Amino acid sequence: MNKNSSPRIQNESAKATGQQAEQIACAYLRNQGLKLLESNYHCRYGEIDLIMEQAGQLVFVEVRYRKNPCFGSAAESVDQRKQQKLIKTALEYINRHPGFNQRPSRFDVVAITGDSSHIDWISDAFSC
């Protein structure tokens, strides 16, 4: 997504900024051919920002936004603890949707930095 065509992240509350980053990430991934199945899936283990599908594969997407990369990149913030929460949440999602239990799946990270002009999509960022 280039600088001129991407929506800008406005200076808002953290929750609103996160929702805006997720909308930008979703639009970006849909333009790459992924299909949205669900957003903001919650269970007792945590939340998955976007659940998408690409070529029959379930894609669990974590969206991270950093206004400034001085304290580390957005992608670096998906640490081991966060990965474990995402894995447990994804397993809960699959258990609640039996039709998905035989499908391959992966975990992607979409990292947005600055005013959303820089988007990194890390496909298959980690595995369980």
- Tell me the pLDDT tens digit for each residue of 7-23: 555 555 777 878 899 99
Q: How far apart are CA 38 and CA 29, in angstroms?
A: 13
Task: Tell me the pLDDT of the chain averaged across its residues.
Answer: 87
Proportion of the chain above pLDDT 90, given as a percent: 62
pTM, rounded to two decimals: 0.86
Domains of the chain with CATH codes = 14-126 (3.40.1350.10)
| CB count in 10 Å sphere of residue 18 | 17
Q: How far apart are CA 128 and CA 19, in angstroms?
A: 26
Given a contact cutoff of 8 angstroms between Cβ atoms, the answer to whether 116 and 21 are in contact is: yes
| Both structure tokens of 89 | 């949440």
Q: In 28-81, which ranges are E strands?
A: 35-43, 46-54, 57-66
Q: What confidence category does residue 1 fall into, taking pLDDT thresholds of 50, 70 and 90?
A: very low
Residue 51: predicted pLDDT: 98
Q: How far apart are CA 119 and CA 79, in angstroms?
A: 19
Distances (CA, A) of 19 to 28, 70, 120: 14, 22, 17
Asked whether residue 4 carries a pLDDT value surpassing 50, the answer given is no
Q: What is the mean pLDDT of residues 44-60?
A: 97
